[in-house]
Structure formats: structure tokens, C-alpha cells
Chain A
């Protein structure tokens, strides 16, 4: 298996633009997680899905952030409109069982200027 795949790996955008991050989990994994990592706030769990259904989005910082999982092999995290404080590395992870061993993707480094 190729592991968790994220795209793009790097994204540079201007403030106010819409940004879409993509994730393909490991096949057969029922849980998908989105995380954000910054120097100031560390690692934060934003949202997680079980069988494509969002279970808890309490970590999503603002209404500007939204996440979807239209099928078992694809998820998106969208920021609209983006702001400089959204600059971070965004990780997607998947797991076979709820909050057991998680496999992380390589991350997307987002820079909002």
C-alpha cells in the first residue's frame, strides 16, 4: 500500500483565496483524521470521520474551515477565505480502528501571504 497520500505537498496562496487540501487514506481504513501543526499551537486535531461521516469537528478553528469525505478513498479540507494565520502544515491520517494506530500522510505545507 502506498500509505496515506496528500496533495498538494506545498501550497502558497494569497489572503482571501480558497484553498483545498486533499487526502487519500489507506484502503480499508474506516477512520480519517485531519490535523494542523504550527509552532505556536503545536499539533491540533481538527476533525475526524468514521465511514465517511464526520464525527467531531470541534477542533475546526472557524467557519472558514470545512471538511468533506464523499467516499471511502477521498477527503478534502477547505479554507475559504484563507488568512495568513492559517499558514501551517496540515496532516491527514487514517486508522483501521477508532483512535488506534494512526498512519499519517506526508502533510501539506500551506503558506498564506
Chain B
């Protein structure tokens, strides 16, 4: 049962353009969402998070949008740079449910930025 889904295994974007990565979830108990970036031979690196009380969080070139009614979140990267080429994982947890701080991950989207 895949509770966090990233339906696009890969995405290619021209340098300087906007990259939009999507994530859907099914568990209505999830109330904290994160995006991680992973380079080959390294562990995932935290990028940005959002709590369910917000619908947008911005950090530099990265913005995460949350649509609770649609159970959908997206990560926007503007402008895209070659160093952004990596695998991006969406993750979620149910913080309000005591003992459920563990993160549930999607299967990842491989982003390639074309120079």
C-alpha cells in the first residue's frame, strides 16, 4: 500500500526554467510533509518542509505547495540549475498521532536539468 506516490519517475527541464515535481498521498492523518534531494552514493538531504496548517512554504529557489483537499503537494524550483539534477523524494508523517513521527517516502522522481 503506497501511501505516498510520485507518479513521474523522471523529469527533464531546461536550465533556467521552472521544475515542478508532484506528490500525492492517501493517508488523511499525514500532517507534515518534506522534500528530500538525493545524489548518487549519498544519503537524502533535507530540502524543505510544510505543515498541514499552511498551503505554501518558500525557501530561496524552492517552494512547496500543499493542497489538502486534493491530498497533493508539489515542489517548484525556480530557476532550475544544473546542480539540481538529482532524485527528489517526497515524504510525509503524522506528527499529531503520537508515536508516528516516522517518515513515509515516495519512490522518487529523477530530475535532469538540461544546460
Partners in one complex: no
Residues of chain A touching chain B, judged by Cβ–Cβ distance below 8 Å, are none
Residues of chain B touching chain A, judged by Cβ–Cβ distance below 8 Å, are none
